[in-house]
Chain A
């Protein structure tokens, strides 16, 4: 059975200091321009206090509350992907010496970071990227070197966002899987954090930090908080075999209906914590003596993504939306053994026209029943 301990607010600050002492850079949520983002911080005081968010399809707004909460907002547009699977990465450089070109791989920069406040769906999203980039053949060393060193201080969601559907994707709101320490934030009667350890590194950091065993009542309150979050999910995926539903409906007219709204802006793929597609760009100096190749995030919504001589394989927006959604929810299962969606709802919130993949899936599902 998992041992549950209690950290007071001051203890959490000490825990972060212990992580820093062990050489971890702290990456944590911050409020910037009214939006929760993830960036490097120096301590607990940088974390937003008493901030909640309202999320709707195509809508996001934060507001202040009178509570001292540290983690009562839900996820914003950033995900931990930007620190593990870098948005931009140089792969190699080459230089011309008199008559010979020499090529050298660009060593992936090491980065030892502690991710603070990782949500259940995000822990699962990291596991999905591990599967793609480490555990399915060729290893992406640039990802692995960062992933191996990452410390995951997770937190159970105390509130469900309006776009959330992690319960129906079996990925939350309670943190499970590969994390080091997981917190449950309790505001009353006292502002404390239940903490459970899931790794040797997590145990080691916890040992160095003042803590005490949780009482049965505190554990009950913690369970209640998570149960309340689970009961208040903003939405849900239809309860059916989604992978089969979509692969059997590749020619469904509903794809055109979605395309009539979709702007193919690629926002959904940029905010998605599991989307992993990249492209490369070659650059050189004007003398054509120094060359390099840079890899960067790409999106299946870009017309160039499927470019072949003669034009794009997926020129219509319907085909591009179908590629994204069927990859995420259907062919991902064939490729990697599970769905590529964790139900975080970012693609719904950050879609400028509020396309909701749970509703679009439901529409295709309902049509089957009708």
Chain B
């Protein structure tokens, strides 16, 4: 189709290649979530709702800049499209500069998310490192909305500095509600920090859960996830009940471009959430 043939509200036949074509979306609101982090809420330009499962991701396009895979950070009602973005490259920087009303492209949602069904009637241990809390927030909202279906729910969250802690008002609400146990730690404290200092792995020893009836969900830097998963196995959680959200370069999000391969897995399609049982042998290999 030539550029001159593009008209407003063009109706296009839906076929598989459409999954590679972004749909128009708009920024509804945005706010700063730390020194180099922003959270933006987007909505489809045509007002269509987007169903997603906790742990899935969208491909966001800034026109003229490029596209990046951004996990869906979830929302209390489970339908709003909220994305938390850190300034790490050209596209994420351009996404952070968007203002309410600005247009962007959206493809998705893609991928296999957190095993919320398998977690039912179990204790749930959620371990987040840094921005890793973003894709886990959607599962936290899901749990809070269906709280009776789950046992003891614990969030262990580690951030670099107190200022880097995401979603501070929500975390305060979660703590107050007593529906989930929240334990936080920072690598580098400031004088006002009243909590723990150190890596998130150190919180695992004291976390309360029944090992044989616990499902763990981990997201953070790969090295952190490796240590956390290993510590959880030491506390006798089965590797098949430990889930990690993996990150690799993603271009197409439909398992065709080859970029996100991690061993035999296309992380965009088979993941990003995979069990530690599957990942353990692969995580041991450097630069896989």
List the B side residues contacting A306 at CB < 8 Å.
248-249, 259
Interface members, chain B 54-71 (any A CB < 8 Å): 61, 63-67
List the A side residues contacting B10 at CB < 8 Å.
102-104
Q: Bits for B245-273, please: 1 = Cβ < 8 Å to A, else 0.
A: 00111011011111101011010010000
Q: Are A305 and B259 in contact (CB under 8 A)?
A: yes
Q: Bits for B276-288, please: 1 = Cβ < 8 Å to A, else 0.
A: 0000000001111
Judge if A280 is at the interface, Cβ distance under 8 Å.
yes
Which stretch from B19-27, B161-169, B203-211 is at the chain A interface? B19-27
Q: Bits for A296-334, please: 1 = Cβ < 8 Å to B, else 0.
A: 001010000111111001111011000100010011001
With contacts A93-B1, A104-B10, A278-B256 taken as known, whether A331 is within 8 angstroms of B63 at the C-beta atoms is no
With contacts A331-B264, A335-B266 taken as known, whether A282 is within 8 angstroms of B257 at the C-beta atoms is no
Q: Are B257 and A91 in contact (CB under 8 A)?
A: no
Q: Are A92 and B261 in contact (CB under 8 A)?
A: no
With contacts A92-B20, A278-B257 taken as known, whether A313 is within 8 angstroms of B287 at the C-beta atoms is yes
Q: Are A92 and B21 in contact (CB under 8 A)?
A: yes
Judge if B77 is at the interface, Cβ distance under 8 Å.
no
Q: Are A102 and B7 in contact (CB under 8 A)?
A: yes
Judge if B38 is at the interface, Cβ distance under 8 Å.
no
Judge if B103 is at the interface, Cβ distance under 8 Å.
yes
Judge if A288 is at the interface, Cβ distance under 8 Å.
yes
Q: Are B8 and A97 in contact (CB under 8 A)?
A: yes
Q: Bits for B110-132, please: 1 = Cβ < 8 Å to A, else 0.
A: 00000000000000000000000
With contacts A138-B256, A141-B16, A282-B64 taken as known, whether A103 is within 8 angstroms of B8 at the C-beta atoms is no
CB of B16 to closest CB in A, whole Å? 4
Decide if the interface of chain A is mainly helix, strand, loop or mixed: mixed
Q: Which of B247, B252, B269 contacts A278, CB < 8 Å?
A: B252
Q: Are A142 and B263 in contact (CB under 8 A)?
A: no
Q: Are A277 and B259 in contact (CB under 8 A)?
A: yes
CB of A278 to closest CB in B, whole Å? 5
With contacts A278-B252, A298-B258 taken as known, whether A310 is within 8 angstroms of B65 at the C-beta atoms is no
CB of B64 to closest CB in A, whole Å? 4
With contacts A93-B6, A103-B24 taken as known, whether A108 is within 8 angstroms of B17 at the C-beta atoms is yes
List the B side residues contacting A107 at CB < 8 Å.
1
Judge if B105 is at the interface, Cβ distance under 8 Å.
yes
Q: Are A95 and B6 in contact (CB under 8 A)?
A: yes
Chain A residue total in the interface (Cβ 8 A) = 61
Judge if B148 is at the interface, Cβ distance under 8 Å.
no
Q: Bits for A38-76, please: 1 = Cβ < 8 Å to B, else 0.
A: 000000000000000000000000000000000000000
Q: A293-B67, A315-B287 are in contact. List 5 more A-B contacts (CB 8 A).
A: A138-B256, A141-B16, A280-B67, A284-B64, A327-B258
List the 10 shortest-distance A-B pairs measured between CB atoms, nearest first: A277-B258, A309-B88, A284-B64, A334-B264, A319-B287, A331-B264, A139-B16, A141-B17, A138-B254, A105-B21
Residues of A with Cβ closer than 8 Å to B? 91-97, 100-108, 132-133, 136-142, 247, 250-251, 276-280, 282-284, 288, 290-291, 293, 295, 298, 300, 305-310, 313-316, 318-319, 323, 327, 330-331, 334-335
Residues of B with Cβ closer than 8 Å to A? 1, 3, 5-10, 12, 15-24, 45, 61, 63-67, 86, 88-89, 92, 103, 105, 247-249, 251-252, 254-259, 261, 263-264, 266, 269, 285-288
Interchain residue pairs with CB less than 8 A apart (20): A92-B21, A93-B1, A97-B8, A100-B45, A101-B103, A102-B6, A104-B12, A137-B254, A138-B254, A139-B15, A140-B256, A276-B256, A276-B258, A277-B257, A278-B258, A307-B249, A308-B249, A310-B88, A313-B287, A319-B286
